[in-house]
Amino acid sequence: MATVPKAEGTEVVKIDIDALASEMDKMVLDNFPMLPKHTTPCIFRAPSIMSTHNPEAYTPKGFSIGPFHYNEPHLQTTQKIKMRYMDELISSCFPDTDRKSKLKDLIAAVSEVKDEAWQCYEGSFDMIISMDEFVKLLVLDGCFLIEFFRKHMNMELQKSNDPIFETNYMMSFLNNDLILLENQIPWLVLDCLFQKIMSPEEIVELPLITLVTDFFSDWWFSTEVENNFEEVHKCETKHILDLLRNSLILPSTIAKQKPTPIVNWKMMTATSLQEAGIKLKKAKNGTTTSILDIKFKNGILEIPQLSLHGVTETLFENLICLEQCLFSYNEVITSYMIFLNHLIDSAEDMEILVNNDIMEKYMEMDDATIFFNRISNGTICQHYYIDIVDDINKYCGRRWPRYRRVLKRDYFKHPWALISVLVAVTLLILAFLQTVFSIIK
């Protein structure tokens, strides 16, 4: 930058255009390096607009997976557990091979996909770790996950004093930490390691997707959904959280419909729907293959059962965050949670769903209600349930459901109001009979 004299007492500041352009070009390259054409980021830090109301839903409690939380002090104690699992995996699969020799093979394999894996992450972390550290953590985390899932499926692999399977709180940590968007490693890394570690026969007999989904199968998968994993196998998987989303989306009939770009829409709560004569009912087993497949017909709203337990909120917060960050994804999960949010506005609404076995609740009623009321905050999406909402609103707009709702709300809500109505009706009947008898006489 230089100054150029102008008039007396003033001067003009001259800008070094070339230097400033070079500086800004370097700034862009440092923060947004050129991505390979085939690579799109799929692992993100949660945007502040979504994480502000519940930051714990995006933060690992015990295990760091991937680079975003790699150096956080409270997660360092579990690094030794990951090292032990990696050692047990290599010892179990290659009993006659020197550990260092096999580690060299695994490092070499991951090094071949390191650039693509690096580009899977949105946001910079190169100030935290080098490329060597990046490859090291991918090998360590990948081997740890494979051995963990192997042990879960085959209890014979669990050794005495296992730090995870013999410690309840460690398993609780993993239930939470494995489903966080910020705490993922690319599926291509897991698959690369799996191909190097397992024999061809083992890979055919027990594919990686089957190994992983077995751990999550108790969360929501019905027998019917498990039978649809063939579709999941055919679909490109980006990471574990993406696999869970695919397991919901692919079997769903709702997800195959064309979404409606409507910003504002209204639907009555469960309490109001019940007052209008709509029956809320749990979908029968065998009639649906996904919790997303809500149906309405002839005044009956059928909703597949959803289990509400400790990690439900965390899971759906991160699934929604994935859909909001990855623009190529349809916001099916987001739309599903917005629909439930409209349905549930109070503890009374939640109680109706619990009493009808639509919600299987393992948390306090008020906590469950708050969960639905805040989970879709800050989201934007096209909606997959507008046709159902329109059908419900049309049904409720008919004359009898509308009168029924008013009667129930204004006259049948309290016992004394009901008694007053009955007395009034009785007096009306008696007056009518008296008039009839008077005419006859």
Tell me what the mean pLDDT of segment 133-143 comes to.
Answer: 97
Same domain (yes/no): 211, 149: yes
Tell me what the mean pLDDT of segment 117-130 comes to.
Answer: 80
C-alpha to C-alpha distance for 84 and 80, rounded to whole angstroms: 6
Indicate whether 318 pLDDT > 90.
Answer: yes
Indicate whether 33 pLDDT > 60.
Answer: no
Confidence of residue 403 (pLDDT cuts 50, 70, 90): low
**Residue pair 5/84 in contact by the 8 Å Cβ criterion:** no
pLDDT at 38: 56
Confidence of residue 367 (pLDDT cuts 50, 70, 90): confident
Mean pLDDT of the residues in the chain: 85
Indicate whether 359 pLDDT > 80.
Answer: yes
Mean pLDDT lowest among 55-69, 205-219, 424-438: 424-438
- pTM of this structure: 0.83
Q: Decide if 239 is inside a domain.
A: no
Mean pLDDT lowest among 137-146, 235-244, 248-257: 248-257
Query: Which backbone phi and psi does 361 adopt, to 5 degrees?
Result: -100, 125
CA 265 to chain centroid, in Å, comes to 23
Neighbour-count burial of 336, counting CB atoms closer than 10 A to its CB (0-12 exposed, 13-18 middle, 19+ buried): buried
Most confident of 77-81, 272-276, 360-364, 391-395: 77-81
C-alpha to C-alpha distance for 169 and 175, rounded to whole angstroms: 10
Residue that is last in its domain, among 189, 216, 243: 216
Q: Decide if 405 is inside a domain.
A: no
Q: What total number of domains does the chain contain?
A: 4
pLDDT at 8: 60
The residue among 53 and 197 whose pLDDT is bigger is 197
Residue with tokens 């989303």: 245
3-state helix, strand, coil in the chain (%, to 5): 55, 5, 35
Q: Assign 121 to helix, strand or coil.
A: strand
pLDDT at 418: 58
Pick from 292, 133, 278: nearest CA to 220: 292
Same domain (yes/no): 353, 431: no
Sign of the torsion formed by the C-alpha atoms of 214, 210, 121 and 170 = positive
Indicate whether 164 pLDDT > 60.
Answer: yes
Q: Decide if 322 is inside a domain.
A: yes
Tell me what the mean pLDDT of segment 374-392 comes to.
Answer: 87
Q: Decide if 158 is inside a domain.
A: yes
Same domain (yes/no): 277, 385: yes
- Whole-angstrom Cα Rg for the chain: 29
Same domain (yes/no): 57, 168: yes
Structural domain boundaries, residue 164: 48-216
C-alpha to C-alpha distance for 79 and 144, rounded to whole angstroms: 10
Q: Decide if 205 is inside a domain.
A: yes
Same domain (yes/no): 192, 284: no
C-alpha to C-alpha distance for 106 and 135, rounded to whole angstroms: 10
Same domain (yes/no): 26, 54: no
Q: Decide if 43 is inside a domain.
A: no
pLDDT at 37: 47
C-alpha to C-alpha distance for 195 and 190, rounded to whole angstroms: 9
pLDDT at 132: 94
Same domain (yes/no): 377, 272: yes
Residue that is last in its domain, among 162, 184, 216: 216
pLDDT at 284: 87
Q: Decide if 138 is inside a domain.
A: yes
Q: Decide if 229 is inside a domain.
A: no
Same domain (yes/no): 194, 53: yes
Instruction: Kindly report, residue by residue over 218-230, the tens digit of the pLDDT.
Output: 765 444 445 555 5
pLDDT at 223: 41
Confidence of residue 126 (pLDDT cuts 50, 70, 90): low
Same domain (yes/no): 274, 385: yes
Most confident of 3-17, 58-72, 127-141, 278-292: 58-72
pLDDT at 225: 47
Which residue intervals of 283-331 are DSSP H helices?
312-325
Instruction: Kindly report, residue by residue over 5-28, the tens digit of the pLDDT.
Output: 555 656 677 888 888 888 888 887
% of the chain surpassing 90 pLDDT: 53
Which tokens in the block code for residue 172? 């609780």
Same domain (yes/no): 169, 286: no
Indicate whether 409 pLDDT > 80.
Answer: no
Same domain (yes/no): 272, 343: yes
Confidence of residue 78 (pLDDT cuts 50, 70, 90): very high
Same domain (yes/no): 367, 274: yes
Pick from 140, 81, 146: nearest CA to 107: 140
Indicate whether 441 pLDDT > 70.
Answer: no
**Residue pair 182/58 in contact by the 8 Å Cβ criterion:** yes
Indicate whether 296 pLDDT > 60.
Answer: yes
Residue that is last in its domain, among 216, 238, 271: 216
